[in-house]
Amino acid sequence: MASLQIDYHSDLKEVQSDEALARLLSDAEQRAPFDRLAWWQGLAEHCGMAPLIAVARSSRGTAVLPLSGNSGHLSALSNWYTFRFRPILDGDAPLRDLARDLTRRSHRVTLHGLSDEDQTASTLAAAFGAAGWLVRREVCDTNRILPVAGRGFEDYLATRPGKLRTTLKRKTGKVVARILTRFDAEAWSQYEAIYAESWKPEEGSPAFLRAFAEAEGTAGRLRLALAHSADDPDGPAIAAQMWTVEGGTAFIHKLAHREAAKPLSPGSVLTAALMRHVIEIDRVELVDFGTGDDPYKQDWMDTQRPRFRLDMFRPWNPRNWPALGRIGLRSLAASAKRG
């Protein structure tokens, strides 16, 4: 039987000092920002999250589950900036052993934003179920994506809704777009000013987002775009977007425009400019618009993927009974409504 070692790290410096773990969670090994140690460090430093990195290692492989929380109820180490959550599994990862050991530390584990096109949600549900947890699975969000499928930008554009194509035809000449591939402090200040005047809610953690943009700029993965009115190209920017590109995917993180500039449709013009850039220059295979099924995303994306929540309970732990009772009552009410 392979030897098994399970550790829990609330201090991310411990993870960083572990050479094997740091390498597994590095830029070189992980091809999306949400799977890297640096992302979790940012959540802890700037978003007030308390990390608990659960690690199970055997001679056959490693399982890393980034968690957060206390009082026996653990959740995913993720927040509104995270497109999707998953464990990091290497080799024949001992995920079931890790799920079994978590019974000593937690009576409930809640993981949200799980993908299943890569079997993440199914793998986690099977591992926790086999370890004796009661597992409840439900859809919690939608992820809109664009598989490029070898198309050039003009071919892609020809498939967009007629209203959007008409808008771009009428407005593109009225807006000047600029795309930066490195972090620029002045451009970032303009993004923050635009966001403050936009329809968007208050930014959750500006410090986290800036630190992330700086790091992605250093790595060459940042695509920071600004739009100006063609009548005032040297004036204040009227729209801004932040994308990153890696592993064949363009991730759309942030977009905003000044409400006063809405008649120029600068957001649409800027999105089109970035789409052209990532398709023709970066040669991405996929564009990921994150979570949320906003109607405007459907104009740009071709398909959608569900995101799942898993709620895992120790069934005989009294602390879970109120929550399990509420779930049971909701299920009965839903059944009665369907009947």
pLDDT band (50, 70, 90) for residue 335: low
Cβ partners under 8 Å of residue 134, min gap 6? 312, 313, 314, 315, 324
pLDDT in tens, 241-291: 999 999 999 999 999 999 999 999 999 999 999 999 999 999 999 999 999
In the chain, the percentage of residues whose pLDDT exceeds 90 is 87
Confidence (pLDDT) at 293:
85
CB contact set of 169 (below 8 Å; sequence gap of 6+): none
pLDDT at 1: 44
Do 302 and 145 contact (CB within 8 A), yes or no?
A: yes
pLDDT tens digit sequence for 158-188: 999 999 999 999 999 999 999 999 999 999 9
Question: Which of 188, 185, 173, 192 minimizes the C-alpha distance to 233?
Answer: 173
pTM of the model: 0.93
Span of 10-14, 29-33, 259-263, 325-329 with lowest mean pLDDT: 325-329
pLDDT higher than threshold 70 for residue 339: no
Q: What is the pLDDT of residues 146-160, one digit of tens each?
A: 999 999 999 999 999
Domains of the chain (ranges, CATH numbers): 5-143+305-337 (3.40.630), 150-284 (3.40.630.30)
Q: In this predicted structure, which of 15-24, 191-200, 261-270 has the lowest mean pLDDT?
A: 191-200
Q: Are 313 and 323 in contact (CB under 8 A)?
A: yes
**Radius of gyration over every alpha carbon of the chain, rounded to an integer in angstroms:** 22
pLDDT at 337: 65
